[in-house]
Amino acid sequence: MNTLPVIGITGSSEPFDGGLKRMGLVMNTLTDWVTFKPISTPLLPLQTDVSGVIVADASSAAELLQHSPWLPVEEDRRLQEPSLRENFIECVFALHDVNRLQAHGLTRHALLAFHSRYKLQLLAHHQPGYREIGPLVASLHEWEDLETFFVMYREKLMAILQKVATRQNHTNVLMHIQGYFRNQLNARQRAELRESILSYLAGQLPLLAPVTLLKRYLDEYPNHYLLTQNYFTPYPEDLGLRLLVN
């Protein structure tokens, strides 16, 4: 399996290089972190290494999602909007991650550990979906065929992550994380953290601000569960996407 996530480019009558130039900002953002490749919609089911697809129009997106509902698919023009771009990239890295899990060989332990890492991330995207997928994972011991379980789990996982996380949901997760430090932080630190979270909720700070503060406290007061959480780094930090998401 590819080390870097693969993003397919389709739905354009332009030459491939021209299509990449058309994407401008997206290409500049991702060029060091993913591999771009041209794909044909009819051949997509054969492209098992693809972790996301950028298309030129909504009809192409709908066609792709009919046979690959778990696949992150987005129109190039919509990727100019920061929150949609961030969500698409997050989903690309998540699908690459879960597909690597399958490629390395499915075990119950590996599936449970994977889901545990994604708990806070799922909670930030869609609380009802988070509550729905929990019982499925809890029933894992009842499944004899792990591949069948994986197909269902992957589809539910990606359906949750494809819902753009709201500021309120992020705030709920940030406050939940804050609770892990109740016995470590002094009054000044607690006030600083609360102010940062509430300023984010009010749209006065980017998401990066409270997340960075929490990561600083996590370095100072390690917590095993929090250290495993993909929420803190759902994609390479150098992409700087959380600086742009309000």
Going from N- to C-terminal start, the domains of the chain cover: 6-81, 105-161, 167-239
**Residue 154 has what pLDDT?**
98
Percent of the chain clearing pLDDT 70 (strictly above): 90
Nearest residue to 24 (alpha-carbon basis) of 103, 80, 87, 66: 80
Q: What distance, in Å, lies between the first and last C-alpha atoms of the chain?
A: 34
Is residue 85 over pLDDT 90? yes
Nearest residue to 161 (alpha-carbon basis) of 116, 138, 130: 130
- CA atoms of 169 and 176, how far apart (whole Å): 11
Question: If 0-12 CB within 10 Å is exposed, 13-18 middle and 19+ buried, where does residue 191 land?
Answer: exposed
Give the model's confidence band at 246: pLDDT under 50 very low, under 70 low, under 90 confident, else very high.
low
- CA atoms of 214 and 181, how far apart (whole Å): 9
Both structure tokens of 20: 């990449």
Q: Mean pLDDT, to the nearest integer, of 39-53?
A: 75
Is residue 13 over pLDDT 50? no
- CA atoms of 17 and 4, how far apart (whole Å): 20
- CA atoms of 189 and 193, how far apart (whole Å): 6
Both structure tokens of 43: 């051949």
Computed on alpha carbons and rounded to an integer, the radius of gyration of the chain in Å comes to 19
- CA atoms of 74 and 71, how far apart (whole Å): 10
Q: What average pLDDT is seen over the chain?
A: 90
Give the model's confidence band at 43: pLDDT under 50 very low, under 70 low, under 90 confident, else very high.
low
Q: Mean pLDDT, to the nearest integer, of 13-29?
A: 56
pLDDT digits (tens, 9 = 90+) for 156-171: 999 999 999 999 999 9
Measured in whole angstroms, how far is the alpha carbon of residue 22 from the centre of its chain? Answer: 24
Could you tell me which CATH number the domain at 6-81 has?
3.40.50
What is the DSSP pairing of strand 50-55 with strand 6-9? parallel
**Residue 21 has what pLDDT?**
54
Q: Mean pLDDT, to the nearest integer, of 138-151?
A: 97
Distances from the Cα of 69 to the Cα of 30, 86, 120, 192, angstroms? 23, 19, 23, 42
* Contact criterion met (CB below 8 Å) for 1 and 103: yes
- Confirm whether pTM is higher than 0.85: yes
* Contact criterion met (CB below 8 Å) for 93 and 5: yes
- CA atoms of 142 and 101, how far apart (whole Å): 20
**Residue 111 has what pLDDT?**
99
Instruction: Strand 50-55: give its sheet, edge to edge.
Output: 35-38, 6-9, 50-55, 73-75
- CA atoms of 169 and 69, how far apart (whole Å): 24
Is residue 138 over pLDDT 90? yes
pLDDT digits (tens, 9 = 90+) for 92-117: 999 999 999 999 999 999 999 999 99
